Chain A
């Protein structure tokens, strides 16, 4: 009798340990994905839909910004979903500082390029999955490791006086299906 209960106790301890290890790994792995999904939903809602850009046009700290966001960086954002094909992002850079950065679904920043690296005041990128044929599309193709993700364009605003120029720059952007 005691032997059987001892066996139950060992099995219970093993099961509890396996559940703990599995849950710990699952929570840690899924946390970035969950955060990305939440932010994507917020961006898509603000932009009106997926594969469209939302432009922050307010200088300084904003209550609705992400945690620890930089108030000196004015951001255009797009939640993209490449399931139905490639997506284009194009426009003009901003001379103080401009960069485009892309985040896959686990939150890794898998691509970033700034205006100096671009060497041109115009940019034209096509976001695509590995199996998308983009040979007929103009612009530089960027391959996203995941169908969904986030695109950010950052522009440095030294102060509020930069905002009219930044807003005009934002309005020259195109974000949408390629």
Chain B
């Protein structure tokens, strides 16, 4: 079928080049789908304008893509048997959370052993460095009213109470992660449609 040595060599070189190009091209594309900003949340369930939810963290039931994205973007999470995770990348109007804006995050009692609300830079997927060394508030440390209501002020500028600092650099996307440890049976039965904190933009 092949006519001559030259043609055989051309075919072999072509096959090698084709396989190499297909491999590197696909590898680059697949990794970009696993590591890009916010891709970890693409398969999370949209609960409302603000919050996303997944019960597949660390789970054997997670798809291969979900498992890979979580391993890269937030490894070693607890399975939903122990803790549940909600994430917000938008405010209650559906607008992306941005570092130069001030937000009021408010909520009430969450029926669980404890909870924490942490802030991460969406680009680095890490804490936002700040002089206060503050990246979270939790159910014990947060000041609460007599009726267990609380407010966290997310802002690049100092706030009088419960300040959660964002970056001073403008237009940096960030996210809020609510972790609920040992949720009560009634809260677990209602998941993901539970009373979640409200994230309102105050100013920009």
Contact = CB atoms under 8 A, between A and B. Distances in A.
Interface residues of A, number: 49
Interface in B122-145: 125-127, 129, 133-136, 138, 140-141
A12 B25 CA distance: 15
A31 B73 CA distance: 11
Interface string A78-118: 00000000000000000011010101001111101010100
A158 B114 CA distance: 9
Given A12-B14, A68-B177, A108-B60, A39 B75 contact: yes
A109 B83 CA distance: 12
Contacts of A29: 64, 68
B30 A23 contact: yes
A166 to B, nearest CB: 14
Contact of B64 (A23, A28, A71, A154): A28
A114 B25 CA distance: 45
Counting chain B CB atoms within 10 Å of each CB, the highest count among A25, A31, A63, A65 belongs to A31
A72 B136 contact: yes
A19 B22 contact: yes
A156 B73 contact: no
Contact of A31 (B72, B118, B134): B72
A159 B140 contact: yes
B133 A61 contact: yes
A54 B65 CA distance: 30
A20 B34 contact: no
B18 A16 contact: yes
Contact of A23 (B27, B79, B120, B126): B27
B70 A107 contact: yes
A110 B58 CA distance: 8
B82 A19 contact: no
Interface string B51-95: 000000111101011011011111111110110000000000000
Given A8-B11, A19-B22, A19-B23, A112 B133 contact: no
Contacts of B134: 60-61
Contacts of A62: 127
B76 A31 contact: no
Nearest to A68: B74
A176 B190 CA distance: 41
B78 A109 contact: yes
Interface in B167-204: 177, 179, 181-182
Contact of B26 (A23, A107, A159): A23
B15 interface: yes
Interface string A37-75: 001000000000000000000001111011110111100
19 contacts: A4-B1, A19-B22, A20-B25, A20-B26, A23-B26, A23-B30, A27-B68, A28-B64, A32-B67, A68-B126, A71-B116, A71-B118, A73-B116, A96-B114, A108-B67, A109-B77, A110-B60, A116-B182, A156-B181
The 4 closest A-B pairs by CB, nearest first: A109-B58, A158-B140, A19-B22, A32-B71
Given A24-B26, A70-B179, A152-B76, 14 more contacts: A19-B18, A31-B34, A35-B72, A61-B134, A67-B72, A67-B126, A70-B116, A71-B127, A107-B75, A109-B57, A109-B76, A109-B79, A112-B82, A114-B182
